[in-house]
A and B are shown apart, each in its own frame.
Chain A
Amino acid sequence: MTVLFHTFQKTAQTYHNKTAIISDNKQHTYQALESLCLEWAMTLSTLIAEPRVAFLTEEALNTAALSLAIAKIDAVCIPTNPQLTKEQLVNGWQATNVNIVIYEKEFSAKVQQCMSLSNSDHILFLSIEELKAKTEKIQPHNESVTQKEQSQHIPVPSDFIITLSSGSTGKPKPIALSQQSKLARAQQSWQLYDIDDNDTVLCASPFFHSLGQRLFFVPLLKGCTLVHLKHFTPQRWLLAVENHKVSKVISVSSHLYALKDELLVNAKQLQSLKTIVTSSAPIDNHFKEQLFNAVGCDFHEMYGATEVATATNLYPKDAKEKYTSVGSPCPNVDIKILDENKGELPINTIGEIAVKSPLIFNGYYQQTQLTDSSFKDGYFLTGDLGKSAQDGFLTYVGRKKDIIISGGINIYPKDIETAIAKHKAIKEISVIGVDDKFLGEVILAICVPYLPYDEEQNQELKTLEKELRRIANKTLAPFQRPLKYYFEQSLPLTPSGKTSKLLIKEQYNNLNEDWSAPLRAMLFNLN
């Protein structure tokens, strides 16, 4: 089903002279985007049967045209995080049966590294320039042939886009979504945030992140203008909103935190802003009110997961009274709170949040057992803890799964523990996430070394830390590297004898440090 592409094409034909994308001060019309997408669709379908295309792209036009071209030929795309190590990239591509990788030239060095790995032999690597050159060689009259060949050789895969949920060195979690689901998710956003073709939507999130994908499809399927920021800084964000009269923003909380003070100071320049949507942003009601008075801008709070899309929404009208909640279930979404045995819990009792939604994902690609075990009676088990009130408003409490979310990226501690534990002086290690007001969480590595623990051994521990950092810098992506290393004699245990991450987290959260202060100072001059 190429329903997402057909919706785009209909929109492109209605708004053909309108600006579809603004990025790096370049503007591209719907007509230009549609033409590029049709050309690349034809080229891709002649390159290989059943293309499964990973891309390493940051340019908005490339990303949009590629994903829509893939939608047209009913193929599968796997947007990938270029920050991953070569092993992580190739493992992710292998887990999703990628047969083509398309990349922008700035990632050539990374691609060369990937090509040196033996398990990438079957992959065709193509730069954007090579894709363009191949496209020029194809005569337009070949289209009918291509279409015919396509219908003969390409079965109708229901997967359209696969999001790799983490840079896991172990087993990546490939979340597969159909075109129907992506379209329905865009329609959900139009309805929730009152988005129409007059809106200008800002995207400051990468396309390998499900939020980035949403921020491409929501405007481009509706006839809005998409303003794209390749790299976020508060200054660029403010300029983009002011210069391009952005009206709708869906933001990760770390961006909003970095912007918080600037929003009020620059209120006059931000009058075009009508709605900001965020998830668990560290922004209180008083601030929301101030912003509403200064800019006339509403806040929506949401809760969701890539697997189920947006599950709850806190409308501005409810924000005052329900400020601890993440809102009530979206239309056609049902939420249950379950106990350890997957039994339903009564209201106001904390348990695992389970979501039933028509916008559900197709499953974890080629991981049937994992997919099946993620559901109970049609409800997706989110791994998050929360409670429901009598009136249906949901309160999010925390995560059940051992995942650290830093800067909006899911990070699996196990991958980091495995990498660092390779050092011969490490007896035991526990990697945890501690609260940070800017990044959400930051990573700490709590190590039990074989060295005799003694304050006098300080120099030896310093040397050990240097060595551990070298391992991390060499084998882990930057977002996976622990910020700090701590050395202990032993780790606290649960009654059943397992390491208690809960106790360790509590202990280190109590240090109450401003962990990301050096980063904010360096990037934004914030002390």
Chain B
Amino acid sequence: MTAVIEQVEQFIIEYIEDNTTEDNISVNGSSNFVNEQLLDSFATLSMIMTLESEYSIKLSPMELADEQMRVVRTLAEKVASKVET
């Protein structure tokens, strides 16, 4: 489980690094990509869709409305939990 979380977390971090307009930022598990404005709306939506496709999972609006899901690690944990089950 931990390995999957770490793999998803790395995937999210790389996605943010590739799509952010911010310069010289360090993205890690505790980064809040919404509050820190690391991604614009389109890049955020594209990330959710990419995660769903990449890991063959679904994230419901109810789940995404949890503010903790804006944090890289929590989002990775949610995705990983769905991959496992």
Query: In the assembled complex, how far is the CB of residue A394 from the closest CB belonging to chain B, in whole angstroms?
Result: 30
Chain B residues in 8 Å Cβ range of A109: 23-24
Say yes or no for B44: interface residue by CB 8 A criterion. yes
Say yes or no for A478: interface residue by CB 8 A criterion. yes
Query: In the assembled complex, how far is the CB of residue B27 from the closest CB belonging to chain A, in whole angstroms?
Result: 13
Chain A residues in 8 Å Cβ range of B62: 521, 527
Chain A residues in 8 Å Cβ range of B48: 518-519, 522
Query: In the assembled complex, how far is the CB of residue A508 from the closest CB belonging to chain B, in whole angstroms?
Result: 16
Using an 8 Å CB-CB cutoff, how does the interface string of A496-522 with B read, 1 for contact, 0 for none? 000000000000000000101111111
Query: Taking A469-B50, A481-B46, A516-B45 as contacts, is the C-beta distance between A521 and B21 under 8 angstroms?
Result: no
Query: In the assembled complex, how far is the CB of residue B23 from the closest CB belonging to chain A, in whole angstroms?
Result: 5
Q: Is the CB of A525 within 8 A of B67?
A: yes
Chain B residues in 8 Å Cβ range of A473: 15, 18-19, 46, 50
Interface-facing stretch out of A23-31, A100-108, A128-136, A301-309: A100-108
Q: Is the CB of A521 within 8 A of B49?
A: no
Chain A residues in 8 Å Cβ range of B19: 473, 478
Q: Is the CB of B22 within 8 A of A106?
A: yes
Query: Taking A82-B21, A484-B49 as contacts, is the C-beta distance between A478 and B64 under 8 angstroms?
Result: no
Task: Across the interface, name the chain B residue whose C-beta is closest to A112.
Answer: B23
With beta carbons under 8 angstroms apart, the residue of A107, A479, A521 that contacts B61 is: A521
Cα of A462 to Cα of B24 in the assembled complex, Å? 35
Chain B residues in 8 Å Cβ range of A265: none
Cα of A519 to Cα of B64 in the assembled complex, Å? 8
Q: Is the CB of B21 within 8 A of A107?
A: yes
Cα of A514 to Cα of B62 in the assembled complex, Å? 13
Cα of A518 to Cα of B65 in the assembled complex, Å? 8
Cα of A522 to Cα of B44 in the assembled complex, Å? 9
Say yes or no for B37: interface residue by CB 8 A criterion. yes
Say yes or no for B4: interface residue by CB 8 A criterion. no
Say yes or no for B30: interface residue by CB 8 A criterion. no
Chain B residues in 8 Å Cβ range of A525: 65, 67
Cα of A520 to Cα of B34 in the assembled complex, Å? 12
Query: In the assembled complex, how far is the CB of residue A332 from the closest CB belonging to chain B, in whole angstroms?
Result: 37
What is the size category of the interface that chain B forms with chain A? 20 to 34
Chain B residues in 8 Å Cβ range of A479: 42
Query: Taking A83-B21, A107-B23, A109-B23 as contacts, is the C-beta distance between A519 and B50 under 8 angstroms?
Result: no
With beta carbons under 8 angstroms apart, the residue of A108, A465, A483, A517 that contacts B23 is: A108
Using an 8 Å CB-CB cutoff, how does the interface string of A303-342 with B read, 1 for contact, 0 for none? 0000000000000000000000000000000000000000
Q: Is the CB of A462 within 8 A of B21?
A: no
With beta carbons under 8 angstroms apart, the residue of B21, B37, B65 that contacts A522 is: B65
Using an 8 Å CB-CB cutoff, how does the interface string of B43-81 with A read, 1 for contact, 0 for none? 111101110011010010111110101100000000000
Say yes or no for A231: interface residue by CB 8 A criterion. yes
With beta carbons under 8 angstroms apart, the residue of A231, A483, A526 that contacts B45 is: A483
Query: In the assembled complex, how far is the CB of residue B70 from the closest CB belonging to chain A, in whole angstroms?
Result: 7
Query: In the assembled complex, how far is the CB of residue B46 from the closest CB belonging to chain A, in whole angstroms?
Result: 5
Say yes or no for A110: interface residue by CB 8 A criterion. yes
Say yes or no for A296: interface residue by CB 8 A criterion. no
Q: Is the CB of B53 within 8 A of A521?
A: no
Chain A residues in 8 Å Cβ range of B85: none
Chain A residues in 8 Å Cβ range of B46: 472-473, 478, 481, 483
Query: In the assembled complex, how far is the CB of residue A425 from the closest CB belonging to chain B, in whole angstroms?
Result: 15
Q: Is the CB of A522 within 8 A of B69?
A: yes
Cα of A427 to Cα of B12 in the assembled complex, Å? 31
Task: Across the interface, name the chain A residue whose C-beta is closest to B52.
Answer: A518
Cα of A516 to Cα of B42 in the assembled complex, Å? 10
Using an 8 Å CB-CB cutoff, how does the interface string of A401-423 with B read, 1 for contact, 0 for none? 00000110000000000000000
Task: Across the interface, name the chain A residue whose C-beta is closest to B64.
Answer: A521
Query: In the assembled complex, how far is the CB of residue B58 from the closest CB belonging to chain A, in whole angstroms?
Result: 10
Query: In the assembled complex, how far is the CB of residue B41 from the closest CB belonging to chain A, in whole angstroms?
Result: 6
Central interface residue in B15, B50, B64, by most chain A CB within 10 Å: B64
Query: In the assembled complex, how far is the CB of residue A132 from the closest CB belonging to chain B, in whole angstroms?
Result: 18
Chain B residues in 8 Å Cβ range of A462: 53, 56
Q: Could you tell me which B residues sit within 8 Å of A by CB distance?
A: 15, 18-19, 21-24, 34, 37, 39-46, 48-50, 53-54, 56, 59, 61-65, 67, 69-70
The 5 closest A-B pairs by CB, nearest first: A478-B42, A521-B61, A478-B43, A521-B64, A521-B65
